[in-house]
Amino acid sequence: MKRKTVAWILLGALASAGGAWGARAALTFNNTVTGEVLNLDDAVEEGRDTAAVKTFLDSGINSYNENPACLPKGEEIFLTACSGCHGHLGEGKIGPGLNDDYWTYPKNETDKGLFETIYGGAQGQMGPQYSVLPLDEMLLAMAWTRHLYKGDPKKAKWLTEEQRKVFKPYSADNKQPTDIAANGECG
């Protein structure tokens, strides 16, 4: 075998062994401010291979949304990773409110956009979370962020049509969705 050929085979093996994980995603994700393509290989190893992450990277659909078995975990992560800046109900603090339908970056009204903002960051204090939060935890925090929504359910683009019909704007006594059957274990 020629040396050059051997080199190419070695390179190919390297590419498929490491680095290529993110290439499995069907969608391309872009930085919210610069539009630059986000490198999914930067994500921490933990929590990359859950069914929810796979679904999300291929479709932009967050299967944790309004899943009563998953929302408590989402709340926990939100309270650790987001509420210090966005308020414990997402009402806004040093970061903008996340519980209404006004967005500095309009793409955050979709879950793909919301993920891009969390993963890749925005301006100032909104640093990228890719090295901090596992992908699966980002999806859980996103589901809780959406659950805190106080606006008109008709504008909740992230919900399925079925979910939109039963979604109730968040209030303290409507913490859990009561009219969606519990799925048992999350994930």
Which residues make up each annotated binding site? 82, 85-86
Beta carbons of 135 and 22 less than 8 angstroms apart: no
CB 75 within 8 A of CB 142: no
Q: Per-residue contact track with ligand HEC, 116 to 155, x per CB under 6 A?
A: -xx---xxxxx--x-----------x---x----------
Q: Which residues contact 90 (CB under 8 A, 6 or more apart)?
A: 78, 82, 83, 97, 98, 99, 145, 148
In this complex, which beta carbon is closest to ligand HEC, that of residue 10 or of residue 94?
94
Q: Binder to ligand HEC among 52, 53, 98, 139 (CB under 6 A)? A: 98
Within 8 A by CB and 6+ apart from 151, the residues are 99, 100, 101, 169
Binding-site positions for heme c: 82, 85-86
Interface residue with ligand HEC among 95, 112, 143, 167 (CB under 6 A) is 95
Single residue of 103, 177, 180, 187 touching ligand HEC by CB under 6 A:
103
Backbone angles phi, psi at 37, to 5 degrees: -70, 130
Which residues here bind ligand HEC, judged by CB under 6 A? 81-82, 84-86, 94-96, 98, 103-105, 108, 114, 117-118, 122-126, 129, 141, 145
